[in-house]
């Protein structure tokens, strides 16, 4: 683990390669799993605020679920997560031609309808941040659906921390990221990880 300003960062973010390959995975991270995306109370409020601007992008079944149960729920561990439909799809998942899953929130952001990109847990994926004790721990969530992203990342020479530059800056700040990047460079030079 690396200690960056009191936040512990897994060496997987330094040593492993990653670059989303949507042509291969078709956005499977938005539909796989047994719960929705982790969100904060503030993000729940933001989801409710942007709902009118994303409503027409949502699947009809997702619209029904949101009307009946809201945008979020507490999973069995008590964590606040986005609502899901059919036991897997995040309610904010929409589909593009060819079966590509995309995020209605991010789509609305790219269309200029809203100024918020999406929940930070989604933006940071495949990294997950857990608050433990007095600080945060950033881990790489290794999942078989992301093998194509690991392959593409290796081919392009993009490390996980480099791929996640923008969301890490949004979550922790530019100074934090600059320290992380420098620490990663020193680590890679010292330990010569391929």
**Per-domain residue ranges for the chain?**
1-18+126-194, 26-117
Q: What is the pLDDT of residues 93-131, one digit of tens each?
A: 888 888 778 889 999 999 999 999 999 988 988 888 888
Question: Quick check: 170 and 164 in contact, CB under 8 A?
Answer: no
pLDDT at 194: 57
pLDDT at 101: 80
Nearest to 73 by CA among 55, 49, 91: 91
Within 10 angstroms of residue 114's Cβ, the number of other Cβ atoms is 19
Distance CA 106, CA 94 (A): 10
Question: Quick check: 177 and 185 in contact, CB under 8 A?
Answer: no
By mean pLDDT, which of 112-121, 137-146, 156-165 is the weakest? 137-146
Question: Quick check: 126 and 92 in contact, CB under 8 A?
Answer: no
pLDDT at 22: 72
DSSP state of 71: S
Distance CA 21, CA 150 (A): 9
By mean pLDDT, which of 26-35, 39-48, 54-63 is the weakest? 26-35
**Average pLDDT value over all residues in the chain:** 88
The residue count of the chain comes to: 194
Within 10 angstroms of residue 87's Cβ, the number of other Cβ atoms is 8
Q: What is the DSSP code string of 75-128?
A: -TTS-EEE-EETTTEETTEEE-GGG-EEEHHHHHHHTTS-S----HHHHHTTEE
């Amino acid at each position: 683990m690396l200690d960056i300003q009191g936040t512990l960062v897994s060496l997987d973010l330094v040593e492993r390669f990653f670059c989303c390959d949507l042509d291969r995975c078709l956005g499977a991270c938005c539909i796989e799993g047994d719960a929705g995306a982790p969100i904060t109370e503030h993000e729940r409020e933001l989801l409710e605020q942007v709902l009118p601007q994303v409503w027409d992008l949502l699947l009809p079944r997702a619209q029904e679920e949101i009307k009946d149960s809201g945008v979020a729920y507490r999973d069995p561990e008590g964590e606040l997560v986005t609502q899901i439909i059919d036991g897997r799809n995040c309610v904010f998942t929409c589909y593009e031609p060819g079966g590509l899953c995309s995020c209605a929130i991010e789509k609305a952001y790219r269309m200029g309808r809203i100024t918020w990109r999406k929940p930070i847990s989604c933006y940071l994926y495949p990294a997950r941040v857990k608050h433990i004790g007095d600080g945060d721990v950033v881990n790489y969530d290794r999942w078989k659906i992301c093998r194509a992203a690991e392959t593409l990342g290796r081919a392009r020479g993009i490390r996980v921390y480099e791929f996640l530059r923008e969301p890490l800056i949004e979550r922790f700040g530019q100074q934090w990221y600059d320290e992380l990047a420098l620490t990663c460079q020193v680590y890679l030079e010292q330990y010569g990880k391929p």
